[in-house]
Structure 1
Amino acid sequence: MRSAAQPYPTASEGLEVEDLKDYLRRSIRASRAARSTRRREEAELALASVVETVPEIAEARCVSVYAARPTEPGTGPLLERLASRGVRVLLPVLGAGLQRDWAEYAGVEDLRQRAPGRPPEPSTPPLGAEAIAEADVIVAPALAVDTAGTRLGQGGGWYDRALLHARPGVRVIALVFPEEVYDAGTRPLPRQRHDRTVDAVATPDGWQSLRPGDDRVG
Structure 2
Amino acid sequence: MEPMTPMSDSSVRALEPDEAKAHLRATIRRERLQRSERRRQEAAAALRDHVLALTSIQEAGCVSVYASRPHEPGTGPLIEALHRRGIRVLIPMLGDGLQRGWGVYHGIEDLVERAPGRPPEPSGEFLPSTTLADADVIVVPALAVDTSGTRLGQGGGWYDRALMDARPSSPVIALTFANEVRDGAAEPLPRERHDLGVDMVITPEGAHSLPA
Shift of 1:96: 3.2
Distance 1:8 1:137, change over 3 A: farther
Question: CA separation in 1, counterparts of 2:56 and 2:203?
Answer: 16
Name the SS for the 1:44 alignment partner: helix
Question: CA separation in 1, counterparts of 2:108 and 2:155?
Answer: 27
Partners of 2:178 and 2:204 within 8 A in 1: yes
Distance 1:152 1:12, change over 3 A: closer
Distance 1:12 1:169, change over 3 A: same
Q: Match of 2:9? A: 10
Distance 1:12 1:22, change over 3 A: closer
Question: CA separation in 2, counterparts of 1:208 and 1:175?
Answer: 11
Distance 1:54 1:211, change over 3 A: farther
Q: How many aligned positions are there? A: 206
Q: Match of 1:215? A: none
Check if 1:42 corresponds to 2:21: no
Superposed CA offset, 1:90-123 (max 9, x none):
0000223432100100111111111111100001
1:59-208 alignment runs, 5 A limit: 59-208=59-208
Check if 1:33 corresponds to 2:28: no
Give the letter for the 1:11 counterpart.
S
Name the SS for the 1:89 alignment partner: strand
Question: CA separation in 2, counterparts of 1:12 and 1:175?
Answer: 26
Shift of 1:10: 3.4
Question: CA separation in 2, counterparts of 1:12 and 1:84?
Answer: 47
Distance 1:8 1:196, change over 3 A: farther
Name the SS for the 1:195 alignment partner: coil
Of the two structures, which has the highest relative contact order with CA contacts closer than 8 Å and spacing of 6 or more? Answer: 1
Question: CA separation in 1, counterparts of 2:144 and 2:83?
Answer: 27
Q: Which runs of 5+ in 2 are unaligned?
A: 1-5
Paired-residue identity, %? 60
Superposed CA offset, 1:151-188 (max 9, x none):
00000000000000001121000000011111101100
Question: CA separation in 2, counterparts of 1:151 and 1:192?
Answer: 11
Question: CA separation in 1, counterparts of 2:123 and 2:163?
Answer: 22
Q: Which runs of 5+ in 1 are unaligned?
A: 1-6, 213-218
Question: CA separation in 2, counterparts of 1:195 and 1:9?
Answer: 23
Name the SS for the 2:77 alignment partner: helix
Shift of 1:8: 6.3
Name the SS for the 1:11 alignment partner: helix
Partners of 2:9 and 2:187 within 8 A in 1: no
